[in-house]
Structure 1
Amino acid sequence: MSLEALFSSPVVKPSKLGWLVGVALVGLCGCASDKSVKKPEEAQAKEEVAPQPIRPPPAANEKVTEKDTNGDQKPDVWVFSVDDGRRVRKELDINWDGRVDLTTYYDAREEREREAMDLDFDGKVDSVYFYEKGINVRRERDLNGDGKPDVWIFYEKGRLARKERDSNGDSRVDYWEYWENNQVDRIGEDLDGDGNVDKWSRGTPAE
């Protein structure tokens, strides 16, 4: 079940919110297998940017349809479509406080492209899942709230392959964790801040 489907289910109660957020965080702690150290292709994601709002302003050609899934007479789902009726975005209020917590974006074929989440409910995006043909291929997390991802999780064929992290906030990856057969195979660390691995360790348990 996708995050969108899980959070939009009418059977999800506010009391379950902590559990849902925990599930999302656990998923982000997973890590994944590339045989060589490489930077994420989306290098521009590491440039300095302001934190993105979880609810972007609608475009001039977008129309919104509101839905009330819990019967409290207040909308908790907003579906945005363009002039030709194509769905481009869906926003969800998962804890029913009147504010958007999850935004799903769709491509030109109305296939899920990415899901942006506000896990600390401050109105800003701090976690993003990226999809290709409906499969989650990458996750990013902004841990310090500066608008830049600090953790990148990569998947290959649906399995965790690699985790990268910028642990000192300089916009450079300094920690690489590679996974094989659902366990950590090796860890690389950049000790001098030049963007290259200086130390390898093997078979080290993941934190």
Structure 2
Amino acid sequence: MTRFPLTWPSPRWLLVALMTFAAAACGSSTPSPSTAEKSPTGERDTAIVHEPCEKDSASAQKVDVNGDRVPDIVHVKKDGREVCRVVDLNLDGAIDAFIYYDAQGVERRRESDFDRDGRADEIAHYERGAVVLKERETNFDDKIDTWDYYEGQRLARRERDSDGDRIIDQWWQFNNPTDARCAIVSADQNADGKPDPGSVVDLCAESYGAPKAATPPPGSAAPPAGAAPGAGQPAATGAGPNTAAPAATTAGAAPAATAAPAGSGPASAPADKKGP
């Protein structure tokens, strides 16, 4: 069976939780980096703390979905309402998620075990039913190393501790609402706790495989190779629709004949008004 819970809440954690819930009751927006618990030296609290869910209590309602006599869903109630739920999503007998509900019955927290090792890999926090923060463990050391912040159900930014010293050293900004893969990433390479300007990387830049956008030149398309100078360029203002570019001349050659003035012999072009 699963090894949930990982650790029991400490008095310090309970104080932080009460402060967090009080702030949420007053209404708040997406948590900012400054609201994450940090020490005076800037270290984050990376402990994975399981919130109790009394799945074996007398009030718990157990549901066996596949008839193997092992509960797949456990509804834990208090004072007539569901306070948390234990779920085995893939019916393998191990707990995949603990889901917690507020006084209105809306999801406020979810602890998920994705790799079936009995340990939480992600703790998602919700406000008014919408996810606002995910604390993630990504390198199998049982410590939180990634904090994902959401705005309107969309991942907006990410903070990471890539070296396990409990201090943020990577910042991700997801600025393209149409492509969740696009992010601008900066890192702290000199251990001063701040993003280094020279470390900024755009994951949707051309150097990272993004297709280059076609940018046609102003006006008409470029002339084909070998075309006379001026070919393909827009006609001069006031010129007729069939006006052609003047022929190029070579050194010593006579200039091209021009139209004869009005009233000249039969070979002259008819005098006509300019323009279309």
Normalising by structure 2, what TM-score? 0.54
State the distance in 2 between where 1:202 and 1:110 align: 42
State the distance in 2 between where 1:114 and 1:57 align: 12
Match of 2:204 in 1: 205
Q: How many positions carry a matched residue from both structures? A: 168
Match of 2:174 in 1: 179
Give yes or no for contact 1:155–1:161 (8 Å, CA) kept in 2. yes
Deviation at 1:52, TM superposition (A): 4.0
1:70 aligned counterpart, secondary structure = coil
The amino acid that maps onto 1:123 is: G
Deviation at 1:191, TM superposition (A): 0.6
Summarize the alignment of residues 3-14 of structure 1 with structure 2, pairs less than 5 Å apart: none
Deviation at 1:109, TM superposition (A): 1.9
State the distance in 1 between where 2:90 and 2:59 align: 24
- The superposition leaves residues 105-126 of structure 1 with CA deviations (integer Å, 9 ceiling, x where unpaired) of 1112221001110112121111
1:196 aligned counterpart, secondary structure = coil
- Alignment partner for residue 81 of structure 1, among 55, 69, 77? 77
Deviation at 1:71, TM superposition (A): 2.8
The amino acid that maps onto 1:43 is: E
State the distance in 2 between where 1:168 and 1:62 align: 44
Give yes or no for contact 1:91–1:100 (8 Å, CA) kept in 2. yes
Summarize the alignment of residues 1-207 of structure 1 with structure 2, pairs less than 5 Å apart: 39=33, 41-43=35-37, 46-49=44-47, 51-52=48-49, 56=52, 58=54, 63-82=59-78, 84-182=79-177, 183=179, 184=182, 186-199=184-197, 200-201=199-200, 203-205=202-204
Moved over 6 A (4+): 59-62
Give yes or no for contact 2:53–2:84 (8 Å, CA) kept in 1. no
- Structure 1 unmatched ranges of 5 or more: 1-33
State the distance in 2 between where 1:58 and 1:39 align: 32
Give yes or no for contact 1:62–1:80 (8 Å, CA) kept in 2. no
RCO (CA 8 Å, sep 6+): is it higher in 1 or 2? Answer: 1
Deviation at 1:186, TM superposition (A): 2.6
Structure number with greater Rg is: 2
- Assess, with a 3 A threshold, how the Cα gap between structure 1 residues 145 and 204 changes in structure 2: closer, same or farther: closer
- The superposition leaves residues 85-143 of structure 1 with CA deviations (integer Å, 9 ceiling, x where unpaired) of 12111001122222211110111222100111011212111111211111111212112
State the distance in 2 between where 1:138 and 1:159 align: 11
Normalising by structure 1, what TM-score? 0.70
Structure with bigger strand share is: 1
Deviation at 1:58, TM superposition (A): 2.1
State the distance in 1 between where 2:102 and 2:195 align: 36
